[in-house]
Structure 1
């Protein structure tokens, strides 16, 4: 799942590929924005954790699941 996170007062967005489902990412964002969690915590496909203070979130964009392409030719 491709996730892009905009952080207030930061010139660039955070972009990561997460093995979490769209529902799991949305639940984590909702918990952070509702004040149930002080940090938005997501894990990327390499097992690294991304932590963003909830009060600094500008936006979160949840994309489509990543599809791995195999081979050299286009169909």
Structure 2
């Protein structure tokens, strides 16, 4: 799944590919917000992204688009 995280006062969003499904990502986001701590996600290469929940503007989860080459109609 592709995850886009909008961060307050940042010009660009964080984008990562996760092995979790949409439900798993949503669960992690909800838990982090409820705890008032840090959202920690790991991408498919094992890298971790940490974002303080007070800086999260939005989280968008969509299917992965990696590997598309050429024109689409």
**Which TM-score band applies after superposition, normalised by the shorter structure?**
0.7 to 0.9
Which structure has the bigger radius of gyration? 1
Show structure 1 runs of 4+ deviating over 2 A. Answer: 66-69
Partner SS state of residue 55, structure 1? helix
Q: TM-score, normalised by structure 1?
A: 0.81
Q: CA deviation at 1:33?
A: 1.9
Classify 1:45/1:28 alpha carbon distance in 2 versus 1 (closer, same or farther; 3 Å). same
Paired residues in the alignment total 69
CA offset at residue 21 of structure 1?
1.3
Where does residue 20 of structure 1 map in the other structure?
20
The correspondence of residues 37-48 of structure 1 with structure 2, limited to 5 A, is 37-48=36-47
1:59 equivalenced with 2:50 (yes/no): no
Question: CA RMSD of the aligned region, Å?
Answer: 2.0
